[in-house]
Structure 1
Amino acid sequence: MSVTAIFLPDRISAAPGETAALTLQLRNPTDGERVVKLRAGGGLAEQTVLQTETIYLDPNEQFEVPVIVDANSNLPAGLHSCVIEIDDGGQTSNAAATVEIIETAAYAARLEPPTSRSAAAGRHKIAIENGGNVTLMVELDVTTSDDVAAELAAPAVTIEPGKTAKVELRIAPRVKYWNGTDQEHPFTIGVSGSNGESAVLDGAYVQGPRVRPWFLPALAGMAGSFLLFVLAWFLVLQPRIETIADDRAAALDEAQSTELQTQVDAIEAAAAEAAELPLGEPVDLRLEVTSGAAASQTTSFVFDEQGNNRVLSITDIIFQNPTGAIGTVELLRDDQILQQSNMANFRDLDFHLVAPFRVNSRSEISLRVACETPGPGTDQCVVAATILGFVDDN
């Protein structure tokens, strides 16, 4: 006769996130000592914890082993079997109890980030976590002021148990302005679940000017430095140089006088070059790429093909993804990637560079698009980049 085992109780209930406590009662009905080894089996093996796995039983001894079942959110609602496999010196048997997982619907919602800042548009994500064990549908509704428009990627989402869904939200101003103070646009998001629970998330989009606050002071500083240089040249340097040149020219022969004049000409040329704007003449360029799904396309432009030793300084880049395509877009200088972005995160995206990208003569500027999924209602990814900057002689 082998060791007998039964569960007490043999049926128990638990909600997701709770633990179910059972007792496995072992009894040795024989006249000899027995060594019993226990192992969790069945569908709840990973959720079952035994207080001990090896038991030594004296003759006619009865022993109780605590068994804990972790009813996490990954377990679907319904009946499950907790099975303990018993090895009694080579003889095997099973003891089983029924664990009923109670149907529970619950979720948690949060806004990431709560506050966004941009001159073009604010970007947020609504994260909804299903903490229950049943599939849940959640509806979203955004309320804003008349000054901004809300673009919600999906008004409703269905979330499997234990999963988290993230819905993109874009808050765009109806009117953009070039300078001034920041303007805050608060908004609220109503969240309603199919389980009857509802919540309200508060957020804010802070709209800034299209011209950065540091731009005008920097421009004024550059103008002031240039003015000081011009004044110093005309009031101090040029008269001094001319005086020195006149004094020495009287004492030098024709060859020495010619050499001195050459030096004066070089100084004046350097001064004239310094008087020019640092970056040159403003220019703009637009590159557009059309690509089919699961494909990659590139559009290129060669700067200064004639090789006139010029420099393009790129100060602003604006990516455009009007159809909402999914994929990646890259801006390259020759084979070097200057900027890379995931198109799923934007419809339009602007970059304003403090230190510009420099492109030399005969260098190639390319826009490369790897299209994964075209936008809704389209069969191609249509992506563009507008490039702003200055051109100057090197």
Structure 2
Amino acid sequence: MGATTSLASRQLSVTPGGSVDATVQVRNNGTLVDQFSVDVVGDAKDWTEVEPRIMNLMPGQEGAVQIKFAPPRNSTVPAGFVPFGVRVLSREEPHGSVVEEGSVQVEPFTDLQVELSPKSSRCRSKARHEVVVDNSGNYPMPVELVANDPDEQLKMSLDYSTLTVQPGTSAFLKLTVKPHDRFLKGAERRHPFQVTALAADVPPTTVQGTVVQQQLLPKWLLPALIALVALAIAGVALWFTVVKPTVQSAARETAKTEVAAQQAAMQQQVDSAEQKAAAAEQKAAAAEQKAATGGGGPPAPPPVTGPGGVDISTGTTFDTRISAEVTANPNPNAFTKIDNAVPAVPAGKTLVITDLLLQNPHGDTGTIRILRGNDVLYEFGLANFRDYDYHSIAPLTFPPDQKLAIAVNCQTPGAPEPATGKCKVSATFSGKTSG
């Protein structure tokens, strides 16, 4: 059968910081000695005390439990009705446990504070302060703020004059203070002012502040001007007494040195011209003497030969261009060889390359190699050029059995080629075929 309970009062009222008691009667309706545990459930359990929490009752015996409600005086417990339940649990017959329900009215209380930061400020034309309104009470509080100065020397402006501050929160307002009159020079002027917070059923809360008005001209300005004038006078005197004569003397010395150098250079040019004229006269005289004696013409120049003794001064002009479109491959060792665009070298002839033009118009990245058969002659990084004109000091020779070719490794195609995923490069070769 478990227990039966009765709550003497189901509606209570308490002021935060105070307490109120309620009594719960518990009766053992079972046939055995039973132990009952009592606790409070609901939002009120954190500020409720139960005495005793455990009681032992004989069959048919009745006991009283005191419930004390003591909400703290802060914003954590809002004003209003708070429902609760007194739960009585039977150890012998758990299914026979019961809950008595009720509510406690938490009365509202007010705790309003106003702060000013900073309390004192200095300015020439405008000062700024911050007004902080703290609501440490337990219900939302409508507040009206009024800023004024007793001497009526200031123009004061708040962000907003009316607001509602929620319990346990703070509101921050900007206060701008401007003196009505400004002055260029003179002693500091102190202007007291105050900010008052007005709320219903609460005495006004006032905070005091001060604005110290300073002259518009900075105090350091006059000494700085005096020092600047003195420095200017000293600079003028130094110029006319020391710097200017030194500069004029240095200029004269420099001019003399330059004139002497120019005269020496002109004399060297004259001497060189005289030497060249004398040499020309000697050559002309030798030529006349040789003509008079019937001498032959100048000897033929020797032939120009490349590696292996190949005569490259004569032969058929050779030009070809190899273009490559290579799909991007992240492997730096993956090269695509192109040699089908180069005409075959005739039997008994040698291909001689003297000029090379590489073109990378889209700014691709990767590597291009110049090959002679399978041998790598040159290797260039594509990222290092858009157009590269290369002239070989020692001409490149290709016999008929070693073909000219290029090999390309494409890493990253340049714009607009990323859409196709291919690098587009070319190599143009110029030279001769000689026998």
Bigger fraction of residues in strand: 1
Bigger fraction of residues in helix: 2
Normalising by structure 1, we get a TM-score of: 0.48
Normalising by structure 2, we get a TM-score of: 0.45
Which has the higher Rg, Structure 1 or Structure 2?
A: 2
